[in-house]
Chain A
């Protein structure tokens, strides 16, 4: 299936000429000349498009929360701070098809009456930043940005904001703080960004992949997009990033709700070296891990929530039978401890303790009771932090230890794997 990825293989796919040749900016023309903002929101609601950053909030509904009569300027912030370990699907969109992201963003702003948009890109993605900046310049030259877009009274400015290395800025309120030139420490909610967001104004925050889907929804209709999802699931197409011990890692565009088994064994070619599958993280490192006998599950928000994990960013990390789960968890815990912003005590202290304890176990100096200590720390973090980072850290901690407890205990007894 090639909808969001349809331009990826074209030569110079990132230029205005190639994008327009493939039908680019026709959706924007349709939106501005034939549709009222309210109709666009309605179409997006019909599409059943849910936020592709990880939380899966219905996009049309999110837009509808923006007050229509705000005295303060409203903003769109595109979250391109792709940092969830295992995720690499927004980068190809920005590098290969930046105009799709831009066109979707312009349509979003038209629908919600926004006149300033920021694209917050993680600092390491230098090529994405350059491609977006060049594409934005082209869009200004073609009158798709600036004042009186396509001869209408609608105007929009778009700015690329470069992050500087902080996972927490992928959290929407951390991102807003960072955009305002501060440490990226999340804010208390409520008020939600839709009411008080960037620069105190109502703000829509959408993921890159979400934005790239918008032009297709406008061109072909919300119902069409919804029907692209798996039968009984809907919600369109999804970019799944798959990595780890598979034969063909990469980004696959598939119907929302394709089974995890099909993605691993058909699309990604199965496990390298014909080894057995041991474990899979289905939605980025924060999603609780699944065992090999749990992969007959549809990869959509609700199906994964039903088995107590999550779709998150749709990043599948595959681990074969030789993987040391102690080491894998150590790497993840070190990550969360490093990225905790320090604002909430349970997360700041808890992630640090968990990282130190699991490192001690990995060095062969652990005790069986350490496992329960990690679970107890997880329990202390659970639900007691302002943002989801603490929650993200305990997802792997609890699931690794409970689902692979035997392996952890053996490792501790032997002092190695």
Chain B
């Protein structure tokens, strides 16, 4: 059975106290769960449901509505390339082709060594420095094939 560590449980209690209703803490609790368990599996959904006092189906409904909660563990580095208009105009398609070639995977897949998961994303709010990729929580801007190779090479 899944269970928060003591430290995460403390964080959870603090989060819940900030909202007028317990179930309003569902999104932040899913964030905590994703950090702790790497993915929001059905088992995690049930655990979160119990924590915030809602039905498991409500948790699943919310988890599937938002793109940033993942039902299965991602690679060590989650590559999210923006392909919306600002990045498209400045060559995001070429960058995507370059990434697929280099990693040997398609969008939505993870490399066999578990290092990289490749995704495309809608506008990430960095259009002034397009094309942009989000790798885990960090943004890398003004991408070229060359700069991307350097970035990927530096990720251990």
A contacts, CB < 8 Å to B = 73, 82-88, 90-91, 116, 122-127, 157, 159, 161-167, 178-184, 199, 241-245, 249-251, 281, 285, 315, 317, 319, 323, 327-328, 331-332, 335, 338-339, 341
Contacts and interface: CB of A to CB of B under 8 A. Distances in A.
Interface centre among A125, A167, A182 (most CB of B within 10 A): A182
Contact of B125 (A124, A181, A317, A338): A124
Interface of B: 18-21, 23-28, 30-31, 52, 54, 58, 61-62, 65-69, 83-86, 88-90, 121-130, 134, 137-138
Contacts, number: 139
A162 B24 CA distance: 12
A335 B130 contact: no
A317 B86 contact: yes
21 contacts: A82-B125, A86-B86, A88-B127, A90-B125, A124-B124, A124-B125, A157-B18, A162-B31, A164-B67, A164-B69, A165-B67, A181-B24, A182-B58, A183-B61, A199-B21, A244-B89, A244-B90, A285-B85, A315-B127, A327-B88, A328-B89
Nearest to A315: B127
Nearest to A125: B125
Contacts of A323: 89
A240 B90 CA distance: 19
A79 to B, nearest CB: 13
B86 A251 contact: no
B119 to A, nearest CB: 11
Nearest to B142: A249
A167 B54 CA distance: 25
Contacts of B121: 124
Contact of B68 (A86, A165, A182, A319): A165
A222 B83 CA distance: 41
Contacts of A244: 85-86, 89-90, 127
A183 B65 contact: yes
B135 to A, nearest CB: 11
A243 B127 contact: yes
Contacts of A166: 65-67
Contacts of B126: 88, 91
Nearest to B80: A124
Interface centre among B61, B88, B123 (most CB of A within 10 A): B123
Nearest to B89: A244
Nearest to A157: B18
A86 B87 CA distance: 9
Given A85-B84, A323-B89, A250 B128 contact: yes
Contacts of B20: 73, 116, 199
A122 B125 contact: yes
Given A85-B84, A124-B134, A331-B88, A161 B127 contact: no
B68 to A, nearest CB: 4
A116 B128 CA distance: 34
